[in-house]
């Protein structure tokens, strides 16, 4: 059984998965923030390597990428960062990355080094399931789990392909669009979760647009194994760039609040 499946079985509740861009707003603060997230109740970490052209991301994460790149974050440094995180506490770590960064590093070398650093799974934002084999065999060979996206506009036939290629969890995109905060929960997410439940036993983590504790609760109640919160958390960084103490405090309090609500369900 995979790391994720194991964890989700043990938890017996929905897992909380915060997302950070590695190196945002700078390497040290970023590390402090990730530690804060772990201490405040994160069950799994989803970490992204900053890229110059993140087409799957909305404005909040685009700005985070720019901040991290200005602070000189690179793929190699990001892997070292992941090592520090897993030394601090060995939570499962899912990586979100754009293909060109992996391609330039060398697919096999990148995946091996990520595994070595303590990584658990990899998701390439701009690889569709048709191109799963550019990454999946090499990931499996080094002992990583694979994660692919399912979107509300996907046919059952394509979802079936995702099910076949996934060894970690199914990254369930709650809406049609990019990452970013939303006021309401997309009305497409619950039908999608039920559709997935009818097609597979694999763990389902829901992301994109999950912004409030209430959204997280609804997604959890709809049967998600994990809820991924990105832009809402990254926004605390953006809003407190001149006060890292406040930044950490807000990130910690928010994660703690969501964790408690999920735990009570």
Partner 1 sequence: MKHKGRYGTFGGFYVPEVLIPALEDIEAGFEQYCNDPKFVEELDDLYRNYAGRPSPLYHAKRFSEQVGFQVYVKREDLLHGGAHKVNNALGQGLLAKYMGKKKLIAETGAGQHGLATSMIGALFGMQTKIFMGSVDVARQNVNVHKMKLCGAEVISVSGGTCTLKDAINDALRYWTSHIDDTFYLFGTAGGPHPFPTIVRHFQTPIGTESRQQCLDQLGRLPDKVVACVGGGSNAIGIFSSFIDDVDVELIGVEGGGKGIETDEHCATLVKGSVGVLHGAQTYVLQDENGQIHETECISAGLDYPGVGPEHAYLKDSGRAEYTAVTDEQVLDVFELFTRSEGILPALESSHALAYLVAQKGKLPKDTLVVVNLSGRGDKDVSIVEEHRPMI
Residues classed as catalytic = 46, 57
Helix (H) or strand (E) holding 222: none
Smallest distance from the beta carbon of 182 to partner 1, in angstroms? 11
By C-beta, is 76 or 241 nearer to partner 1?
76
Separation of alpha carbons 132 and 93, rounded Å: 20
Separation of alpha carbons 207 and 234, rounded Å: 14
State the residues that interact with partner 1 by CB under 8 A. Answer: 51-59, 62, 66, 69, 74-76, 99-101, 103-105, 125-131, 148-151, 153-155, 158, 173, 175-178
By C-beta, is 170 or 233 nearer to partner 1?
170
Smallest distance from the beta carbon of 188 to partner 1, in angstroms? 11
Residue 149 DSSP class: E
Quick one: tokens of 149?
């996206």
150 DSSP β-pair partners:
172
By C-beta, is 146 or 151 nearer to partner 1?
151
Smallest distance from the beta carbon of 100 to partner 1, in angstroms? 4
Total residues found in the chain within this entry: 265
Q: Work out the angle between the directed axes of helices 27-39 and 244-264 (0-180°, nearest 10).
A: 30
By C-beta, is 141 or 176 nearer to partner 1?
176
Helix%, strand%, coil% for the chain, nearest 5:
50, 15, 35
Separation of alpha carbons 53 and 196, rounded Å: 30
Q: Which residues contact 260 (CB under 8 A, 6 or more apart)?
A: 41
By C-beta, is 5 or 128 nearer to partner 1?
128
Separation of alpha carbons 216 and 213, rounded Å: 5
Which 3 state secondary structure label does DSSP give 256?
helix
Smallest distance from the beta carbon of 88 to partner 1, in angstroms? 25
């Amino acid at each position: 059984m995979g790391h994720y499946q194991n964890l989700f079985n043990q938890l017996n509740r929905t897992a909380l998965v915060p997302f950070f861009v590695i190196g945002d707003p700078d390497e040290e603060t970023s590390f402090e923030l990730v530690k804060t997230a772990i201490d405040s109740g994160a069950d799994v970490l989803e970490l992204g390597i900053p890229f110059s052209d993140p087409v799957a991301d909305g404005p909040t994460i685009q700005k985070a990428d720019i901040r991290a790149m200005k602070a000189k974050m690179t793929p190699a440094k990001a892997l070292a960062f992941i090592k520090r995180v897993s030394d601090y506490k060995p939570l499962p770590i899912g990586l979100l990355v754009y293909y060109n960064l992996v391609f330039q590093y060398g697919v096999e070398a990148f995946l091996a080094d990520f595994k070595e650093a303590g990584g658990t799974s990899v998701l390439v934002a701009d690889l569709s399931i048709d191109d799963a084999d550019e990454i999946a065999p090499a990931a499996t060979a080094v002992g990583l789990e694979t994660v692919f996206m399912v979107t509300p506009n996907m046919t059952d036939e394509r979802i079936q392909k995702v099910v076949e290629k996934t060894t970690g969890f199914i990254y369930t995109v709650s809406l049609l669009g990019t990452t970013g905060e939303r006021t309401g929960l997309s009305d497409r997410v619950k039908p999608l979760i039920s559709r997935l439940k009818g097609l597979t036993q694999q763990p389902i983590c829901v992301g994109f647009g999950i912004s409030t504790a209430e959204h997280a609760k609804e997604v959890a109640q709809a049967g998600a194994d994990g809820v991924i919160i990105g832009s809402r958390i990254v926004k605390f960084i953006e809003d407190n760039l001149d006060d890292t103490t406040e930044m950490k405090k807000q990130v910690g309090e928010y994660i703690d609040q969501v964790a408690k609500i999920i735990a009570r369900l």
